[in-house]
Amino acid sequence: MSNSLIPETIKQFTLERVLNEDPVTHRLTLLGYLPLIPDSDKKEPAIIHVEKTALSKDFASDLLSTLSEVKLIDHTDIYSWLLAWLTQSQERPEVKINIICPATEYTAQQTIIVRETPELFEQIVKPYIAAFPPKRIQWVYDILSGKSEADKVLYKDPSDDYGYIILPDMKWDLTTLSSLYLVAIVLSRDIRSLRDLRRRHISMLRSIRRETTRIIKEKWSMPEGSTRLFVHYQPSYYHFHVHIVNANYTGTIGSTVGQAHLLDDIISLLELDPEDGPSIFERLTLTYGLGDQHGLFEPMTVAQGNLQD
């Protein structure tokens, strides 16, 4: 399906079921079908994430005065509860939509906590990553090569071994600073995950931190300390990248304990590494949440029974 046709076809989405409802992030995840072209009977499976956009302080002065309708729910003493509807505005969209199409079968996941020892990484996780189909992350290679999203790149270090790019993440609406979300993606294909980091990568990680601080200060007048930089393990795709979000943004579950590792902590740990010998990330036991639809779920769950306390 052509991406240019999505604005026309999305209203013809056929819902099969709701995969997830998150009242904290105000997000629905829907499974259904999108037509290949407008008004076509031929449709492809699609996963659609719909979430309320963040309210920007830029509209604070006229936000309440322009409400289209206000309804009182209840009140007591000094407290009142109301429902209200925003006036439609081109400058203030109310929802953000992310689409995966065509999508494979997907169900809501239940999560368990697993411990991944260095031995389990070598026996189970490393072969799993090595067998991961490259075409699943072709979109990453397209970004790195400049084939897609070249106009969005905020910074690029062209070094083959230690270079990276910084650009807005697709989860950001590109407007609301309170929900700012950028991503730094390394150029090297040899760094698949946190486990592949070595002492020699410290300068690259420091550069990501430094350039992030410069970019947000120059482009959005945000001071140092305004962003939270972290790395997922397990990541959503096996090409090393760093998430960069507004420090006050709490709308992503991926920044919680059990998946996110702060970039500052990663750098500090690597600084403890000897000049030679195994990296600390080769020696650590990592504990994280694993969904029951993840390819590692079954082998890692079985392996937990053999771990020694």
* Residue stretches of the annotated binding site for substrate: 139, 149, 169, 171, 232-243
Phi, psi of 73 (to 5 degrees): -90, -55
Place of tokens 């290949």: 36
Can you tell me the distance from the alpha carbon of 83 to that of 106, in angstroms, rounded to the nearest whole number?
34
Place of tokens 């009140």: 75
State both tokens at 238: 């096996």
Can you tell me the distance from the alpha carbon of 12 to that of 35, in angstroms, rounded to the nearest whole number?
7
State both tokens at 55: 């309210």
Nearest to 171 by CA among 96, 259, 253, 263: 96
DSSP state of 54: P
Find the helix or strand (DSSP H, E) in which 227 lies: strand 227-232
Dihedral sign of CA atoms 191, 193, 199, 205 in order: positive
Annotated binding site: 139, 149, 169, 171, 232-243
Q: Give 263: exposed, middle or buried? Use CB within 10 Å, 0-12, 13-18, 19+.
A: buried
Amino acid at 221: S
Selecting among 49, 201, 241, 261, the annotated active-site residue is: 241
- Is 241 tagged catalytic? yes
Within 23-172, strands assigned E span 27-35, 43-52, 69-76, 79-85, 95-100, 111-116, 155-157, 164-168
Can you tell me the distance from the alpha carbon of 234 to that of 297, in angstroms, rounded to the nearest whole number?
11
Find the helix or strand (DSSP H, E) in which 242 lies: strand 241-246
Neighbours of 226 (CB within 10 A): 18
Q: Hey, which residues does 243 pair with through a beta bridge?
A: 183, 230
Q: Which residues are catalytic?
A: 241
